[in-house]
Structure 1
Amino acid sequence: MAAARSEKIGYGLGDMSSSMFWKIFSYYLPFFYSNIFGLSLEHAAVLLLITKLWDAVSDPVMGLIADRTTSRWGRYRPYLLWIAVPFAVAGILTFTTPAWGYTAKLVWAYATYLLMMTVYTAINVPYGAMLGVVTDDSRERTVFSSYRMFFAYGGSFLALAIFEPLCRFFTGDTVGRNAAETVAAQAGGWQLAMVVVGTICALLFLLCFRLTRERVVPTEDSVPGGRSILADIKSLAANGPWWILLGVAIAALLFNSIRGGAAAYFFKDFIGSDNLLGGSMVLTCGVFLAIGEIANMAGVVLAVPISLRIGKRMTYIAAMAVSGLLSIVFFFIPATVAGCWTMVVLQVLISAAAGITFPLLWSMYADVADYSELKHGHSSTGLIFSSSSMAQKFGGAFGSALILWLLASYGYDTSVGAAQNGEAIFGLRMLMSWLPAAGCALAALLVAVYPLGETCIREIGEKLALRRAANKR
């Protein structure tokens, strides 16, 4: 039986919250650390890499914990209630700039971002695993996943649309201030902007908890004494489709994190502030990214009808191919008025194609959990979904660090008002085009060898339904 629309909306609100923080971290945190907080590019790169790698490693641990949680609210859902407020507080602390010396500030940055990523794991891994227990129907999971991604992109759009205006509002007028006073005002503005965003995110997770339910009871739950952690790990290691999707998720996040994380630098130093779209319209980084989120939402809407016609696997490959090829075209667009309009068109097309892929990827993870339950007797839903989050963070970690390392190698100057040399500008153009395209190509190639097609998934669902029915007797 299909779940109520209110529950699908409620499930979507969870990723709306996560995506608001994720997009701000991915797109603005490198810029914040290097240009406002005051870290060197090299130190910021290592910080982002180490903290996100820690976060990635902690994901499977959280998956194992969530798989073994018992409460009156279910196995995964209670974490939405328990962690919502700490999630918001950690985000605010991450964007807080203490008036300390450089070394102390670096320690603060490590401590707060490690805390943020740990809390993010504690709420996001159980939230993702809920897709495996809200329904046992593969097509319904694609619908739930589409609601999830639609609201995720809606949250991303909201965050990108309000974050820069909030930062400017809370920073206030900096005319007449010296460089140190300007940076201090900006630091306070960014912190207060995160107070607003963090409050919204906490409320969204609480609404997600209120509107959703867990329904599916995996077959291993009926086994006295449960199962061991070692059994879960062994079944995961022997799960071939899981390994493929792990690589797909890393490649897809490299595409998104590199392209999105480089945008603030690209618009500051390549586009500039004098490129009008006509009249008084100016193409800013925030507008560019927000346009992408709207296009992502359109892509999500297309995911279900297209995948029902040609299958999840072929839909994913085609969408990634379009994103990659159009990203390459982006390299050749000049910073002119006509060029800016062309960039807007490319952003819409690239983002719409990318938006098609994400509901499919999450739905495929739920299918992989069913495959594991049928083959090994252990669905390990939390562990499997935590691997998707782990892959995202690996991709995001290397993507964010790669941006800063490449900028440093190209001689990018972070000084206030600095003019970048030709080599640095070339690096920015590469980060917005060829490098993201490489991530698309890798993701498409991996999905091409993914073995769980539509017929296979239908057969797995039928066999599991019989097994689950027998266990209830």
Structure 2
Amino acid sequence: MATLKEKIGYGFGDMSSSMFWKIFSYYLPLFYSNVYGLSLADTGFLLLVTRIWDAVSDPMMGIIADRTHTRWGKYRPYLLWTSLPFALCGILMFTTPDLGPTGKLIWAYVTYILMMTVYTAINVPYGAMLGVMTDDSDTKTVFSSYRMFFAYGGSFIALFAWEPLCAWFREATGSLTDAWQYAMMVIATLCFIIFLLCFLLTKEHVKSLSTVSVAKDFRSLLTNVPWWLLIGAALCSNLFSTVRGATAAYFFKDYIGEDVFLNLGDVTILFYAGLFLGVGEVANMAGVVLAVPLSRRLGKKSTYILTMAALAVLSILFFYLPCTAFGCWMMLLMQVIISVCTGIVSPLVWSMYADVSDYAELKDGTASTGLIFSSSSMAQKFGGAMGGAAVMWILAAFGYDTAEGAVQTAEALTGLNLLMSWIPATVAVLAIVVVYFYPLTKQRVEEIDRELKNVRNVVR
């Protein structure tokens, strides 16, 4: 039986990762285009190229982790070894050097690639730990739910604090570029500490061995039909969130406006991107709580399909909300409901990867947990790469002007609204089509669990 300490400890890992990932996804495009000084085209290409490299490196890290053997286990020691480089690389990425345009572009590529390489080195083993912390499918969903609950908690802290931190440091230093760097120093320090806590509070219980060659591991992976389908589903779900998240800062800056206040009784609140995104992270946490009972009752596959259908409908409705006080309240309400749904989907995907890993072990007689979980990280990063780049290119296609104080055209504003509504809705529909063919139903997963328990050596 998994202990509460282990569940919380495992959750800490994605809390740290998500604090970085959400800032990278939601604010890094704005940083590069409006603070650092890159063009939209250069920013889009940078996001695409670096994250594609990051995604390609994931399987390599999975293979390395699968063949690691230490007194701390196979995957857990990487949390200790790479937590400090993880924090330092984040700071370097948000550092603006005193270089010319070419030098700054090179710096951006080098620091982003370095950051994503270290992110892979810590996050792929962390994800693979889910496959060796328990051998029970329902308990994996519980672990995955703790993971995503803490992930959204960390995201809420980072997103809610990011703009106030930048504003405070800008007032203190008088420099916009220094303000963004110092804000990242605060977040990076928290991430370093939290990853160390994840290492200290967790333990690997399931002993799994990769007993065949790397080539055979890859052959097993490439002939794994559920893996291919889940890759498509994970890519779509991450693309959905990335497109909306990467657009939000631009959407609030130009479509909503920077000085919009909402009345809540006698209290007046500023309606800004950090509030919108932060409220969404809290709603994500509520969705994570719902994921376990819904998946136990309906099965993971059915829960995923129904939730993505709801996301498609809600996203389309978002397009028609007016930019008035009532419309802003409705946007906030819609963000809550959409985020509850994405909160349900996220732990399901990670838990389904654990089921795919068990399926592969039973089918081929060897555990390649790290390789399989690295594919989930790969899909996440491909989704982020395509989503972040697509947002930049779509904004450019609609004539978005990055100049400070620029007034956007009606066409550019329409583009912003489409990026928050119809475009992610289309992605959600595609996800439904992909998962419809996913074969690991609730009954099939239970059969796999029973058969594997007869052949595994479980360390209690």
The two structures have a TM-score, normalised by structure 1, of: 0.95
Match of 2:417 among 429, 434, 437: 429
SS in 2 for 1:280: strand
Please tell me the residue identity of whatever aligns with 1:328: I
1:116 aligns with 2:104: no
User: What is the match of residue 449 of structure 1?
Assistant: 437
Q: Is the 8 A contact 1:295 1:351 kept in 2?
A: yes
1:464 aligns with 2:449: no
Please tell me the residue identity of whatever aligns with 2:257: G
SS in 1 for 2:417: helix
In structure 2, runs of 5+ residues without a counterpart are: none
Cα drift, residue 280 of structure 1: 2.3
User: What is the match of residue 268 of structure 1?
Assistant: 253
Please tell me the residue identity of whatever aligns with 1:3: A
Cα drift, residue 266 of structure 1: 0.3
Match of 1:397 among 368, 385, 390: 385
User: What is the match of residue 16 of structure 1?
Assistant: 15
* Whole-angstrom CA distance in 2 between matches of 1:413 and 1:49: 21
* Whole-angstrom CA distance in 1 between matches of 2:456 and 2:30: 50
Q: Is the 8 A contact 1:241 1:451 kept in 2?
A: yes
1:4-31 CA-to-partner distances (Å, cap 9, x unmatched) read 1010000000000000000000000000
Q: Is the 8 A contact 1:81 1:206 kept in 2?
A: yes
User: What is the match of residue 178 of structure 1?
Assistant: none
Q: Is the 8 A contact 1:79 1:122 kept in 2?
A: yes
User: What is the match of residue 152 of structure 2?
Assistant: 153
Please tell me the residue identity of whatever aligns with 1:158: I
* Whole-angstrom CA distance in 2 between matches of 1:410 and 1:321: 28
User: What is the match of residue 201 of structure 1?
Assistant: 191
Cα drift, residue 446 of structure 1: 1.4
* Whole-angstrom CA distance in 2 between matches of 1:80 and 1:173: 34
User: What is the match of residue 45 of structure 1?
Assistant: 44
1:377 aligns with 2:365: yes
Cα drift, residue 274 of structure 1: 3.6
User: What is the match of residue 187 of structure 1?
Assistant: 177
Q: Is the 8 A contact 1:92 1:195 kept in 2?
A: yes
Please tell me the residue identity of whatever aligns with 1:194: M
Match of 1:312 among 300, 325, 347: 300
Q: State how many pairs are aligned.
A: 456
* Whole-angstrom CA distance in 1 between matches of 2:406 and 2:79: 44
Q: Is the 8 A contact 1:26 1:396 kept in 2?
A: yes
User: What is the match of residue 30 of structure 1?
Assistant: 29
Runs of 4+ in 1 over 2 A off after TM superposition: 273-276
SS in 1 for 2:206: coil
Cα drift, residue 173 of structure 1: 6.8
User: What is the match of residue 358 of structure 1?
Assistant: 346
In structure 1, runs of 5+ residues without a counterpart are: 175-181
1:212-236 CA-to-partner distances (Å, cap 9, x unmatched) read 0001112x45xxxx32100100000
Q: Which moved more, 1:366-375 or 1:432-441?
A: 432-441
Cα drift, residue 309 of structure 1: 1.0
Cα drift, residue 105 of structure 1: 0.2
Please tell me the residue identity of whatever aligns with 1:249: A
* Whole-angstrom CA distance in 2 between matches of 1:25 and 1:445: 29
The two structures have a TM-score, normalised by structure 2, of: 0.98
* Whole-angstrom CA distance in 1 between matches of 2:376 and 2:259: 41
User: What is the match of residue 243 of structure 2?
Assistant: 258
Equivalent residue runs for 1:29-108 within 5 Å: 29-108=28-107
Q: Which moved more, 1:186-195 or 1:271-280?
A: 271-280
Please tell me the residue identity of whatever aligns with 1:256: S
User: What is the match of residue 133 of structure 1?
Assistant: 132
User: What is the match of residue 240 of structure 1?
Assistant: 225
SS in 2 for 1:203: helix
Q: Which moved more, 1:276-285 or 1:124-133?
A: 276-285
1:369-413 CA-to-partner distances (Å, cap 9, x unmatched) read 000000001220000000000000001001000000011111111
* Whole-angstrom CA distance in 2 between matches of 1:123 and 1:276: 40
User: What is the match of residue 168 of structure 2?
Assistant: 169
RMSD: 1.2
* Whole-angstrom CA distance in 1 between matches of 2:389 and 2:47: 6
Identity %: 60
* Whole-angstrom CA distance in 1 between matches of 2:355 and 2:46: 35
* Whole-angstrom CA distance in 1 between matches of 2:198 and 2:71: 16
1:227 aligns with 2:215: no
